[in-house]
Amino acid sequence: MTSKYILAIDQGTSSTKTLVFDAQGRVQARGSVPLKTQYLSDGWVEQEPEAILQNVLDSVEACLEDFKAKGGKAEEIAAGGVSNQRETLLIWDETGTPLHPAIVWQCKRSIGVCQRLAQAGFGTRIKEKTGLFIDPYFSGSKVIWLYENDARVRQAIDEGRAYFGTVDTWLLYKLTNGEKYLTDHTNASRTLFFNIHTLAWDQELLDAFGLSKLKLPDVQPSSSHFGASDFGGLFPQSLPITAMIGDSHAAAFGEGCFEPGTAKATLGTGCSILKNIGPVAKPSAHGMVTTLCWSTEERIDFALEGVIVTCGGTIEWLKNELGLIRESRETEALATAVPDNGGVYLIPAFSGLGAPHWQMDRKASISGLTFGSTKQHLIRAALESIPYQIKDVIVAMEQDTGLLLQELMVNGGMTANGFVLQFLADLLGKSVVNQGMPDVSAQGAAFLAGLKANVYPSLDYLKQLKADPARLSPAADRSAVDRAYAGWQQAVGTVGQSVASV
């Protein structure tokens, strides 16, 4: 195979990372540049549209400098792929001028809109068509808020001059000087506007939302030709862009979730679990959302997603607020210093309890404390809460689909904790696989771009590229962990009766 490379751009909430991958899937160069986010009052979160674009260009430039310093040439890069922060939205006019700052996925300004939609009975219709809940997390409610509260945006929409896009679409539009106005299936499926059954924008919903004249990008597979750009002169010729995909979906592809039953969990501050459910969208009756997993020109795979609100954030709370530890890495040794949790359970509902419970007004709590309880017991309970919540989601997904989990691929900062990963394997009764790739979203974007650019010939080839990962198998005797999980289920179900509120 000729020496070709793929440029992968991972545009995230706090930074943009750009990597160059070779034909064997190995990273050859990196560049990372932080991105400023404005956290305003009342839970509003914004970013500057032009700053997002410049952040990407700066990151690409840094990566190319690293690549060239190692003997690489820009001309050897065959194509580029983009993974992006999901649900963050932008509105611009026919000149490419933003009409408002980008509204970030974390922003809560549209809570009132969501409450109104729910009271009007939109919940069932939206879930059936889009696979999503009515929630400020998704883009659509924020667009409605803009239409109702920003006269400039409202006028542009009414006059048919307002272009809507998630970050991928905005970047493509600007990088191609307005020639390409496109998105992919995964990003479209996070908007509340996209019908996951027809794979098209849902005109009935748009009409009901009062947004019938809003311009929307054409939608195509995640791995397909989206256009070309010289990235502001950083490349001597235009580079084909052959993949765009939301970052969590890119991580699923990078982890190798190619077949029904495969799943990945990203263990960060929170946790996103995506499980491939195959070529047919299946509704969830157990608190999951149905979404597009990834797509190529030959196939489309759907997924169930469960979002856990607090994962590693619990450990930060132990460190920053209680002062029980100085560094997060101390927790593994402290947890294994006791044989079990001593009957102590920590329900980490600091910002409510996410999937599959969706008790967003719930408060964090601790149960089972006695005079014999120690710091080690509390820390172990905090760490155990992460696998417990993941188990809750996996069980719900299996109930929804009948597809049993094959193994769980994991990534994110908490994967450095060996206790958490082994406890998770024991709890699930399945292998937990950690390939140790810190930039798995970029890897997924690179693999999808490389498929279209023929740098990677097939999915089977990509399976062979994956390095020999760390694989943790469940213990032969899982009776103790099963009893511990039964205690967790009781604690989750009895909060408010015999627990101490945090």
DSSP labels, 113-161: HHHHHHHTT-HHHHHHHHS--S-TTSHHHHHHHHHHH-HHHHHHHHTT-
> Which pLDDT tens digit goes with each residue over 329-365?
999 999 999 999 999 999 999 878 888 988 877 889 9
Considering the domain architecture, whether residues 174 and 312 belong to the same structural domain is answered as no
Domain boundary among 180, 212, 247: 247
pLDDT band at 496 (very low <50, low <70, confident <90, very high): very low
How many domains in the chain?
2
Do 272 and 243 reside in the same domain of the chain?
no
- Which conformational region is residue 85 in: left (phi greater than 0), alpha (psi within -120 to 50 degrees), or beta? beta
In this structure, are 355 and 220 located in the same domain?
no
Residues 6+ apart with CB under 8 A from 282: 290, 302, 304, 400, 401
Answer with the one of 223, 247, 271 that is the final residue of a domain.
Answer: 247
Q: Indicate whether 236 and 260 sit together in one domain.
A: no
- Model confidence at 235, pLDDT cuts 50, 70, 90, reads very high
- Sorting pLDDT into bands at 50, 70 and 90, what band is 2? low
Mean pLDDT in the chain?
Answer: 92
Does the residue 501 lie in any domain?
A: no
230 shares its domain with 295: no
Ramachandran angles phi, psi of 127, nearest 5°? -65, -45
Neighbours of 38 (CB within 10 A): 13
Please report, for the domain that includes residue 224, its CATH number: 3.30.420.40
Together in a domain, 260 and 243: no
**What SS3 state is found at 265?**
strand
Looking at residue 244, its pLDDT comes to 98
**How many contiguous H segments (helices) and E segments (strands) does the chain have?**
16, 25
Statement to judge: residues 83 and 226 lie in one domain: yes
Element (H, E) at 418: helix 418-428
Confidence (pLDDT) at 301: 97
Residues 345/469, Cβ–Cβ less than 8 Å: no
Residue 502 has pLDDT above 60, yes or no: no
Q: What is the mean pLDDT of residues 248-271?
A: 91
Residue ranges making up the domain that contains 400: 256-493
Residue 131 shares a structural domain with residue 74 = yes
Antiparallel, parallel or unpaired: β 223-229 and 239-246: antiparallel
pLDDT tens digits for 142-153? Answer: 999 999 999 999
Helix (H) or strand (E) holding 438: none
Is the pLDDT at 265 greater than 50? The verdict is yes
Cα–Cα distance between 499 and 196 in angstroms, integer?
Answer: 42
Q: How far is residue 96 CA from its own chain's centroid?
A: 27
The amino acid that residue 232 corresponds to is G
Nearest-angstrom CA–CA distance, 406 and 327: 34
Q: Is residue 348 part of a domain?
A: yes
Residue 470 has pLDDT above 90, yes or no: no
Which tens digits make up the pLDDT trace of 37-85? 888 888 898 999 999 999 999 999 999 999 999 999 999 999 999 999 9
Please state the pTM of the whole predicted model. 0.88
Average pLDDT over residues 220-235: 97
Is residue 498 a part of any domain in this protein? no
Instruction: Tell me the C-alpha distance between 58 and 56, whole Å.
Output: 5
**267 & 356 share domain:** yes
- Residue pair 291/186 in contact (Cβ under 8 Å)? The answer is yes
Determine, yes or no, domain membership for 435.
yes
Contact at 8 Å (CB) between 173 and 215?
no
* CA–CA dist 257, 428 (Å, integer): 18
Contact 340, 374 (CB under 8 A): no
Burial of 379 (0-12, 13-18, 19+ CB in 10 A): buried
234, 260: one domain = no
List, for residues 377-415, the tens digit of each pLDDT value: 999 999 999 999 999 999 999 998 888 888 999 988 888
Beta bridge partners of 7: 20, 80
Q: Are residues 298 and 317 in the same domain?
A: yes
Domain boundary among 214, 230, 247: 247
Same domain (yes/no): 208, 315: no
